[in-house]
Amino acid sequence: MKQWVKTKEFMVLVIVLTVIAIVSIGNPTAFLTTENIFDIIKSNLVLAIAAMGMLPIMLTGGIDVSVGALMGSASVLSAQFMINVTDNIPLAFVAGAISGIVLGSVNGFFVSKLKMPPIVATLGTMSVYQGMMSYITNGNWISNIPTNFVEFGKGYLFGIIPVQTFFLVAMAVLTWWILKYTFIGRGVFAIGGNTVSAERIGYNVQRIQFLLYAFSGFASGIAAVVRTSIFGQVDPKTFTGFELKVIGAVVVGGASVSGGYGSVMGTLFGVALMGLLENGMILLKIPTFWQKIMIGMIILFAVSIDFVRARRANAKQLKVDVA
């Protein structure tokens, strides 16, 4: 229990609860209603699902700045698939997942096989994916999504939980299980801790890296289709800058930017914090520019905690039994 209190995850949780307290005092009637809460969940599901893909990459010390563009492309491709091939709902998700995996594998190829720095490789593909998206859509909205899919998106589980929640739970459990109980997942932590040592004890670092970028693509692909189901249409412009939110949520959730530390639970708290702040600031009628400044400051704060902690840990190692 005491151990748990010291974790970064716990800190983020405390902040989340504080924010909830402040916002509900500031706006008692609108904030703490079942409706608003599920609204918040629904509007942050997509972010959370994409963050599940980003977390393992950041655990190895890598980064994927193409997620926004990749998700846009996967949205467009899966929408075209629904419109032109079949309106079967499960197949729509398969189409999103496959396009995500293919695009993510391209990232994986550049990073693992060509050994390009992740930020450079994914900046490049980001531009390519954005171009691809504009080429297919001409910058226009896709609004002729099959009606059965749009109806599906409006559905509720047990009459109250938005259907899309299922995908988040599934993705979170899957990511958690991979990270905790598979050797690929442990390899992710090992690489983040010490890449050379990971190689020395027999991890195939290249293969793991490749798989992670493909997995991030998979998560973004699913997130893309989930997003379409929520809005009932695809607006290619809304994906710009989404990567900052995803990376921000993972970092705010306690993952270390240099790799090695972080968890699914923390990332979910991170998403919750980002989502709550956005929602809360809207309810409290704080101007947009202040919202942006706040979000940026929170990310900076989260990253700086890392460095302070590292220093403290060093200082602790000194201990002598004085006569």
For residues 143 and 82, give the distance between their C-alpha atoms in angstroms, rounded to a whole number.
12
For residues 10 and 198, give the distance between their C-alpha atoms in angstroms, rounded to a whole number.
29
Contact with another protein (CB under 8 A) among 1, 5, 114, 315: 315
Neighbours of 109 (CB within 10 A): 17
Kindly identify the residues of this chain, within the stretch 181-220, that bind another protein according to CB under 8 A.
181-186, 189-190, 192-194, 196-203
- Nearer residue to another protein within complex by CB, 200 or 285: 200
Kindly identify the residues of this chain, within the stretch 261-290, that bind another protein according to CB under 8 A.
261
- Nearer residue to another protein within complex by CB, 3 or 138: 3
CA dihedral of residues 128, 175, 19, 259 (deg, nearest 10): -70
How many residues bind another protein (CB under 8 A)? The answer is: 32
Distance in Å, CB of 296 to another protein, minimum: 27
Residues found in the chain? 323
Distance in Å, CB of 39 to another protein, minimum: 37
Distance in Å, CB of 260 to another protein, minimum: 4
**Three-state secondary-structure class, residue 249:** helix
Window 225-264: contact mask with another protein (x via CB under 8 A): -----------------------------------xx---
194 phi and psi angles, rounded to 5 deg: -170, 100
Distance in Å, CB of 122 to another protein, minimum: 21
For residues 149 and 159, give the distance between their C-alpha atoms in angstroms, rounded to a whole number.
18
Q: Which stretch binds another protein (CB under 8 A): 35-43, 46-54, 107-115, 313-321?
A: 313-321
Window 143-182: contact mask with another protein (x via CB under 8 A): -------------------------------------xxx
Distance in Å, CB of 306 to another protein, minimum: 12
Distance in Å, CB of 252 to another protein, minimum: 19
Which residue from 32, 7, 49, 13 is spatially nearest to 270, judged by alpha carbons? 13
321: contact with another protein by CB under 8 A: yes
- Nearer residue to another protein within complex by CB, 143 or 197: 197
- Nearer residue to another protein within complex by CB, 127 or 258: 258
Window 21-50: contact mask with another protein (x via CB under 8 A): ------------------------------
For residues 107 and 116, give the distance between their C-alpha atoms in angstroms, rounded to a whole number.
10
- Nearer residue to another protein within complex by CB, 144 or 194: 194
- Nearer residue to another protein within complex by CB, 160 or 320: 320
Say if residues 100 and 74 touch (Cβ distance below 8 Å). yes
- Nearer residue to another protein within complex by CB, 67 or 191: 191
Say if residues 281 and 291 touch (Cβ distance below 8 Å). yes
157 phi and psi angles, rounded to 5 deg: -90, 135
User: Distance of CA 8 to CAs 110, 200, 263, 289, Å?
Assistant: 32, 30, 10, 28
- DSSP letter for each residue of 43-105: HHHHHHHHHHHHHHHHHTT---TTHHHHHHHHHHHHHHHHHHT---HHHHHHHHHHHHHHHHH
Q: Which residues bind another protein (CB under 8 A)?
A: 180-186, 189-190, 192-194, 196-203, 260-261, 313, 315-323
